[in-house]
Every structure is written in structure tokens, then in C-alpha cells.
A and B are shown apart, each in its own frame.
Chain A
Amino acid sequence: MSLLRVAGICKSYGSIRAVETLNFEVRPGEIYGLLGPNGAGKSTTIMMISGLLQPDAGEVYVAGTAFGRDPEKAKRIMGVVPQELALYEELSGRENLEFWGRMAGLGTRAARVRAGELLEALTLTDRAKDAVKTYSGGMKRRINLGCALLHRPQLLLLDEPTVGIDPQARSNILEFIRRLCAAGTAILYTTHYLEEAEQLCQRIGIIDHGRLLAEGTLGELQERLGGDRLFVLEADFQQLAPEVWAGLAQRFRTIQRTERQLVVAATTARDPADCLKELLNLPVRVENVAVKRPSLNEVFLHLTGRELRE
């Protein structure tokens, strides 16, 4: 049974449709990545799931129960890590953890013990007594994450938890999240970093303009582009119109075209050598050709017509 099921939720801000009929589910021990550019509707989705925002339509089910039926129970099950550093900077890391633990319903002693465990797991024990304002960006992110874990939530909502930190700190956080997942926690992870989604998530939902465009494992999403390889041709395409070349349009699907580069995928499963031969026979002087595995960026590009980082 899924721990989180989002069933057709919608949200509009005036005439702007932030989220439109979104459906997905997250199972225990799974990291579900919600991938999309800034403004795609990821944070709005997290806010609706966490009960901060009332959906205009649809329903959120947590552990099989509609959120609206028992919000307190749902809140006990989930932990929310907001994109912003929602911390008290004057307080120490330990005091922040203990306070959020108390707010989550733990007793004084239980909060203290759990804060100690989390400080150790987040490798912050040596800075536990220092004020959060003296922490580096990565350390603040780790405390921000820890504050949602005091009550051992079964479902963790992570809203871009690695924004604005260095690769080393990011790697530490991703490793910590993997360990949580291994312990059975269901995780909804929103990000606009392709690499994070590729490395971390078992399943990925691609969201843009509030709509879920595609969903599946990385392999399944790559499959949508026609297999596990793309052909990259480098040539001067400035004055040319490849879309009218009969040999190309019938056998290949154009993923991306720039003045110097054409990225295509075979429409049917064929021998790569045959594909290469066909591409080299096109009426253009090809300067270079490469074969590569399709990335999520190409999937996103194919689905939306633009790159994720645009």
C-alpha cells in the first residue's frame, strides 16, 4: 500500500493554475522525485500535501486516510523539510532540534535523546552547542533536515533540500537521505537538479506548469525517447532544414536541434551501426558524431520543448 497518494489535486492563484490534476503515489522505502523547473508547482504540491495549503480540488491520502479526515494523524506520520531554512538562528543546533521535537509531540527527555541521535547522524555533534547563525550553509541545511525527523516520520517531504550548498555538503545530505530510505521511510523529493533525481530517486515524476508530464523509473523515462541511446551529430545546420530530409524524418525522432548540433533517437529498435550509417548518409557534412545514453534533461526537453535549466 502506498504511504502517500495524491489524487487529482488542483490549485489556482487567481488566473494562474499552479497545480493541475496531479496524481502520483509514494510507497514505503521509496524515494519519489518530483522534477521540474522553478515555478513548475513543486512547492505548491508539497504545501498541499503537508496541509499548509487547501487544494481547490482532489484529495491527499496519507497511509490510506484522507488528510482532511484526520489532519493531526497525517501530520504525525509525515515530516516536512521546507525549502527555506526555517530555523531559529539565535538558538543552537541542539536547541532547534529539541524545540521542533517538542512541537512534534515528544517529551523533554525523548526530544533530548532524539536530538543527540540526529546530531550524530548528521555529523554535527561537535557544533551542537553553537548558534545556528554561525553554521555554514551545508550545516544549516542538515539541521533543517534534522528538524523534520525528530518524531521518526514514516513519510518525509523534502522540498529542494540541497538548494545553494556546495557539492560536498550536497553529497552528505543525499547519503543521509539514502540511509533514511533504506530504513523504510517513504520520501517525496522535489528538485530541479537532474543529477540528484537520477542518482537518488527510484521513480521520477516530471512536472511543468503544474502538470505531471511523465512518470516512471529512470529507465522507463529514457525508454520514452526510443531506447537507451541518442545520436549527437555536429555540423553546420544553420542554413539547413533537417526536418524535411526523408531519411531522417522517417527513421529518427529529433530531440534537439541547434545551429551546430542535432540530437536524434531512432524510432524503432535497430542496430546502432545501421543507425550511424543512415545518419552519415544525410545530405550534410557531419563533423562529428557521438552515441550517448539519454539523460533526464533530454526527456524533459522532449516533453516540454525546453531544457530544465532554462
Chain B
Amino acid sequence: MLRILLAKDLRRARRNPFPWVIYLIIPLAVTALLGLALGGNSQDSALGRIRFAVVDEDQSFLTRMLAAAGNRGGTNRNFEPVFLSRPAALELVNANKISAVLIVPAHFTSQYLSGRDPVRVELIKNPAESLHPAVLEELLGATVTGLNALSRNFLVEVPALEEVLAGRGDAEAVGRLADRAGNKLLMAEKMINPPLVWYTGGNFGAKPEAVAAGTPPAGPVPDAGRSGMFAYLLSGMAAMFLLFLGQNGMTDLHRELRLRTFERCQTLREAAGWFVFSKICFTVVMLLICSGILFGGGGLMFHIHWRHPGALLALSAGYAVFVAALFAVLVALVPDERRAGVLNNLAGMALGLAGGCAFPPEHLPDFVRAHLTPWLPSNWFATAARELQSTGVTPTWPQVTVELLVVALLLTLLAAWLFRRRFQKGLRP
């Protein structure tokens, strides 16, 4: 019977492919949108170069030195500072041509070195952009912390340093200054090296051998850090979007209820279970194609090397069956298509957000993270997919796949039972 029902759905899809084409276009559009929004189309850098203006109203030796450093080596691979006057810089930010303006006010260096008054720099962010200005703000925060640390530790040397920077110090004074600074750094080394807190660099997406050896990979390997971030994002986004796509796929079950074709099947055979199962199978196929587009397209766009494609496919299959079965239950509970739309959206959003698909689970409220997230299959999938990509060993994915399938089986049985009960009670949409 499953073959008959699937053949019918396939024939219907062939005759009226428009809804299914839309169904497939959604993940394509989502992937492209993500790529465009996050700069994934750049060949050199996943984030693209951050262009910003520096207004140097101080014009001191220190600010000129910092400006020169900003234009050198690896820095200018990611950043593109342009040095302008304040009006010209503001004009560019208004024209949406740069991400931010960094203004170093007059007397910045002298005030900083004197250590008497607090000094401040000004960052004007482009409101039309989100990611690049945020990166610059974080970077500026780190720089300010560093300058504060220097100022506090080298306060005694500041007058001599000021003389040297102004070009008034003789060689002997410079030597003494260097000696004292060197001694302080040696003393500080004990406190800062080795660091008390450290983190391992996210190796998301890098080839395993390169990670293990801790050496640069031999070929043109995608940038581990950048592609890692997108692989992490994409795993969560895929979990979230498959929920919405599953909901779209199951609208056909609503349609069969509305047209009474499901009911008519029941007059010929006890077929509720098979009918629901066939819809789930059909939706699963569509979801797998969509997840292929999401992971495959996303991988190409962000230069992600998926480390365990087979395991990811199995996980995706388990998750797709779960999603389809979940929405079959929701159709059985709320057969009215319009009312179900609201409920399905809420359910999809709740599962996605609370499951840590849209945000890292660590950012969720404590209660949700402790009591809700671990029970959500969306979280199982997103976490397992992220683990597959971030670790060399993959112990959890088979278990997660089986768990997803078991939940899906239970949901399928529940949906079939709910439909039978609905028919017996004469409840019609």
C-alpha cells in the first residue's frame, strides 16, 4: 500500500511541481542569504575585509605608529583602514561605504602618557551594518584593555618614555628605559605564561591530520577558524530550517483532509497508519534533498569541509523523519490549515530556539538550558552535527540517530492513532 500511496504523491508532485519547487528553493535562498549576509562569497576571508576610517586628530608619534601597524602584514588581510578627516569619514559612513569611524582625539597620546586624566577614543558605527562594526567594537575593547594594562604597569617609566617619544631622550636614557621595561616584562612572564585560562582553537571544518599535527595543512585547506564558525552556524540553522520545511511538507496532509481523500481511503481499508506513513516518507525525501542543499550549498559557499558526510547524512535522515512525524501529529491535532499554521510556526520556533539551533545553547536561560534543551530532538541533532564537525572522534551520532528514529516512530504511531480517533468521532476540519 505504501508503494501505491507514494506513487500517487509522486505523480501529483510531477503534475503540479510548483509547491515542491518552492519547497526546494527555500533552502537555496536561505543558504544564499546567509552567505551574502555573512560575507561567505569572499574567497579570501569568510567575513570579508572590514573597511573603516581612522580620524587621527592627535597626529602624534604613537598614533602614526599604530596607523602604520594597521596597514601591515596579516592585519590588512582582514582590515582596511582609511585615514581621513572627520567630515570625510562621516560622509563615507553615511554613504554606507565603511563599517565604522574611529576617532583619536587631539592630545590623546600626551594625556595617555601623563596618566593623569582618563582618555577616550570615539567609535562611530555604521547603523546599516551589524557584524563588521561589532567586530571593530570588540577589537577596540581589547586594545583599550591592553593600553590600560600598559599604563598601570609602566606609570613610573612614562615621563622617560614621553621624552624618548618626543625625540628628546639620549641613548643612555633609552637604554635605561629598555632595561627597566625588560625586567618588568620578565617578572610579568611568570604571571602570564602559562596562562591560567586558555581555550582550544575551534578546529571546525579543518582536515583532521592538520589538526592532529598542529602544523599547517599541505594543500589548499579551508580556513579552519572561519569555516568553523559557519559550520557551527549552519548546523543550527539547518536544524531550524528543516523544522519549517517539514511543516510546509506536511501541508499536503492538511489538503488530503480538506479534500476528504484521506477519509475516502478509510472507507476502502483501515489505512490511516499507511496513509500517515506515506506522507512522512514523502516529506522525508524532500527534507533530505533540502538538507543536502543546505549542507552542500553552505559547504561550497563557506568553504566548509564536512568531516563526516556519511554520519551527517544519517543524522539528517533521522532528524528529517522526526520532523515529518512531529508535524504529522500536529496535523492530527489541528487539522484546520490556517489555525495549524500558527501552531506549527510556534512549535518550530520553540524547538529551534530552545534546542539551541539559533543560538549556542550556552546562551540560553539557565532553566531552559538545564531542564528543557537536553530533551529536545532539535538539540540532539544540532549538537551531534556540531560535534561531528568539531571533533575527530564521533561517538554520539549513531545513538542520536537511533534516538531520533525511535521518537519519530512513536510520533508516527501517535499521529495514526489520533487520525483514527478523529475519524471515529466524526471530527472534520
Binding site for B on A (CB under 8 A): 11, 13, 44, 47, 50-54, 71-72, 75, 78, 80, 82, 84-88, 90-91, 95, 99-100, 102-105, 131, 147, 151
Contacts and interface: CB of A to CB of B under 8 A. Distances in A.
Given A91-B15, A103-B265, A71 B259 contact: no
A88 B13 CA distance: 11
Given A13-B426, A47-B426, A86-B264, A91 B12 contact: yes
A53 B270 contact: no
Given A52-B263, A103-B269, A105-B268, 11 more contacts: A11-B426, A80-B264, A82-B263, A86-B260, A88-B8, A90-B11, A91-B8, A100-B264, A103-B1, A103-B265, A104-B268
B200 interface: no
Given A47-B426, A102-B4, A95 B11 contact: yes
Instruction: Name the interface size band of chain B.
Output: 20 to 34
B266 interface: yes
A43 B8 CA distance: 28
B370 to A, nearest CB: 43
A54 B424 contact: yes
A10 to B, nearest CB: 13
Interface string B247-281: 00000000000011101111111110000000000
Interface string B78-93: 0000000000000000
B423 interface: yes
Contacts of B8: 88, 91, 99
B16 interface: yes
Interface in B377-429: 423-426
Interface string B12-30: 1001100000000000000
Given A54-B425, A90-B12, A103-B4, A75 B267 contact: yes
A53 B423 contact: yes
A52 B266 contact: yes
Given A87-B259, A88-B261, A105 B269 contact: yes
Given A75-B268, A80-B264, A104-B268, A52 B4 contact: no
Contacts of B425: 53-54
A47 B269 CA distance: 14
Complex A-B, nearest 4 residue pairs according to Cβ-Cβ distance, in ascending order: A90-B15, A80-B267, A86-B264, A86-B260
B61 to A, nearest CB: 77
A82 B260 CA distance: 8
A59 to B, nearest CB: 15
| B interface majority secondary structure | helix
Contacts of B15: 90-91, 131
Contacts of A84: 259-260
6 contacts: A86-B260, A86-B263, A87-B261, A88-B8, A88-B12, A104-B269
Contacts of A151: 268
B261 A71 contact: no
B424 A86 contact: no
A159 to B, nearest CB: 11
Contacts, number: 73
Nearest to A83: B260
Contacts of A78: 267
A72 B424 contact: no
B270 A71 contact: yes
A103 B268 contact: yes
A104 B267 CA distance: 9
A100 B260 CA distance: 13
A75 B269 contact: yes
Nearest to A48: B426
Contacts of A100: 264, 268
A90 B19 CA distance: 13
B276 to A, nearest CB: 15
Contacts of B267: 50-52, 75, 78, 80, 82
Contacts of B1: 103
Given A75-B267, A84-B260, A100-B268, A90 B426 contact: no
Contacts of B16: 90
A44 B424 CA distance: 11
Nearest to B16: A90
A44, A52, A104: residue with the most chain B Cβ atoms closer than 10 Å:
A52
Nearest to B12: A90
Given A75-B268, A90-B12, A99 B426 contact: no
A271 B271 CA distance: 62
Contact of B269 (A52, A72, A85): A72
Contacts of A50: 267
B264 A72 contact: no
B426 A72 contact: no
Nearest to B271: A103
Nearest to A90: B15
A82 B426 contact: no
A163 to B, nearest CB: 14
A85 B259 CA distance: 7
Contacts of A82: 260, 263-264, 267
A15 to B, nearest CB: 15
Contacts of A75: 267-269
Contacts of A87: 259, 261
A86 B423 contact: no
Given A82-B260, A88-B261, A99-B8, A53 B268 contact: no
Contacts of A47: 426
A244 B321 CA distance: 76
A239 B94 CA distance: 89
